[in-house]
């Protein structure tokens, strides 16, 4: 024992946990570290793929026995493949009203595996 009493060594963890607000601060800090590590891991492994579609409108008018009909076909085109993904067909009989959606066509394409299977099955002799 020294002049000032017994000298004790305390670890930094013991001091943090002994402090009334230390554990709360440590908990918040650790959660922040975990979130940053997860975010860094996600962004390093996976790149965000921009998947917007280009939209084109084709409009024309036809005359019917009831009068003029305005048509609009809206094409949703994949900018990478330049293939249509969806087509919406609209009609409007009254110029004062909005177009009414009449039909939606969703277009899917076979995968590379499906094409390879088809080719191997239907291979010419």
Residue by residue, DSSP assigns 28-48 as HHHHHHHHHHHHHHHHHH-PP
Q: Tens of pLDDT along 7-46?
A: 455 555 566 555 555 556 656 667 676 666 666 665 555 5
| CA–CA dist 49, 65 (Å, integer) | 49
Per-residue pLDDT at 88: 95
Using alpha carbons only, give the angle 116, 119, 125 rounded to the nearest 5 degrees: 145
Q: Tens of pLDDT along 49-97?
A: 556 889 999 999 998 888 889 999 999 999 888 899 999 999 998 889 9
| CA–CA dist 11, 8 (Å, integer) | 10
**CA 113 to each of CA 83, 117, 118: distance values in angstroms, whole numbers, following the listed order:** 19, 6, 9
Q: Tens of pLDDT along 68-80?
A: 899 999 999 998 8
Write down the pTM of the prediction.
0.53
pLDDT at 3 over 70: no
Identify the three-state secondary structure at position 73: strand
Per-residue pLDDT at 101: 95
| CA–CA dist 16, 26 (Å, integer) | 8
Q: What is the band of 114 on the pLDDT scale with cuts at 50, 70, 90? A: very high
């Amino acid at each position: 024992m020294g002049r000032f009493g017994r000298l004790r060594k305390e670890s930094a963890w013991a001091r943090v946990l002994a402090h009334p607000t230390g554990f709360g601060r440590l908990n918040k800090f650790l959660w922040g570290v975990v979130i940053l590590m997860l975010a860094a891991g996600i962004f390093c492994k996976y790149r965000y793929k921009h998947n917007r579609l280009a939209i084109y409108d084709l409009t024309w008018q036809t005359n019917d026995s009831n009068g003029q009909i305005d048509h609009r076909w809206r094409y949703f085109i994949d900018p990478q493949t330049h293939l249509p993904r969806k087509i919406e067909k609209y009609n409007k009989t009254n110029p004062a009203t909005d177009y009414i959606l009449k039909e939606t066509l969703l277009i899917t394409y076979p995968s590379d595996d499906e094409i390879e299977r088809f080719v191997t099955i239907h291979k010419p002799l």
